[in-house]
Structure 1
């Protein structure tokens, strides 16, 4: 029987395993930073109606330029962002892939500050470019001097800054982002997938776009918008950058159904985001109560908490799973990453962590 090893795949893909977190049916799922709340019924009904209007024309290709969706994203983002500055894809990972396809490739480098989102090196590998990981400062922060020094040393073609950072939850201040944009000769992308959960949502790299034509800011509807199952990501950048991304997209890459659903959801952004404050409250509750239990959670601007002081992460992971609670071991020694859930889910998690804490 033919196996993967028998196939003529690329040499740099041999021995690798596909990216993915466990998908298990358990009562409390706190492992992949999903929004714990379902799409509100009133919004779901409007989405269904919008999709129904699009379906009779499914025999035709969708709007290649997704003009209505771009207008909707520009209106939602504010900060004088125009529709011509918007790009979108099937999840923010596809948007990041488009960026690397356009500005990366063989002989080029992607620099990011670790620990960070584990897809970055995989996306780089997918387009044949080299990934350069640079350690973060103490407490998983990144400051202007660190950014300048790393860019001066490695001269990357693309820099990815994740803020708030996954898996640590730490934000990068605007001074540091501007330092990167000033120092880099190539592209600097700020991955703001969790921006809506930040303590200060006005501290966004969107405010720097008008001064830096090679700065990109990516977002997603998966987290704050409770749209993980719909796969919609987007970015804002100079219109010339958008022109570059058009060169690498697949034809008609955003289906008419995807566009219709996203446009409808964005019409209800206030309702869709209504639970964000609840999730931020549960995140802060986790930090406070886990600290009281003797764990060492890091401050977070995302919808999750990286919890240090876990003596045996794998044993704790299994013990929580036995109790119907799924969290994430991200491979950082002595830590687990835990998504903020509903109040009931957070209570179950805290009770279990208290039970597992050695006296």
Structure 2
């Protein structure tokens, strides 16, 4: 009779060793996966705070440089505005006394080519009301800029070719892409040949918003994942302490306290604090991350595991946007 071979299963020790090896391999794979996920979150967070902040500061710099721009070759010509400005002495008789304010005093009374608040405007959707709300917060500034662009896509219109001018065909739009003339937008207020954009921070949603005169009832988002929006100003006159303010940047509240302060603003500094997604800041890196400093120079909050980076830019204003008023 043939002897059958006996079969033997795994012993308990062999089974435990196999399970341990499997757990070690699974742990190594999980650790690699978690490290890769953290690296991906950190890279996405770094990209968010870099691209988002740089894009907005570039955009707002263009807006600020345009503040006070007047199209001197417009349909009716603006040379009378220059003549009026040359003879202006004393306090501005309309808004900040800039060429833009003088030119548009009829349809845009009290206009400022650039004006801000250390906090919020009292009536944000009323774009010709430049009064500030009483509470001051240096990192939630509001900013209004106004300017005029070329009247038609063809550019300068010669007086002899008036038939080519169409007041409703211009490419002049507000921050929401809406036309500012009544023929372009029935909701424009104030309507006319000027763009008025008002920027502010929606702290609850971490986003920068803009209200334009194409439709002041509809705010538009211009940047997401922003926690701070700080705007500072340098002027060409002495401050309330008699020290020259040209060498330092001050809050809008201090410019408001100056005599003709907004007419003498010559430079603007903008800072935004961009924030990444949750978990984008690796554990233990908050104390060594040089980017985790807010717009006031303080250590940025890192308890929520979000990477943060402050972006700052300084813009010199066009000389033509400033007032022709003689400072007292």
Q: Which has the higher helix share?
A: 1
Q: Do the two structures share a fold, i.e. TM-score over 0.5?
A: no
Flag the structure with larger Rg.
2
What TM-score does the superposition give when structure 2 sets the normalisation length?
A: 0.25
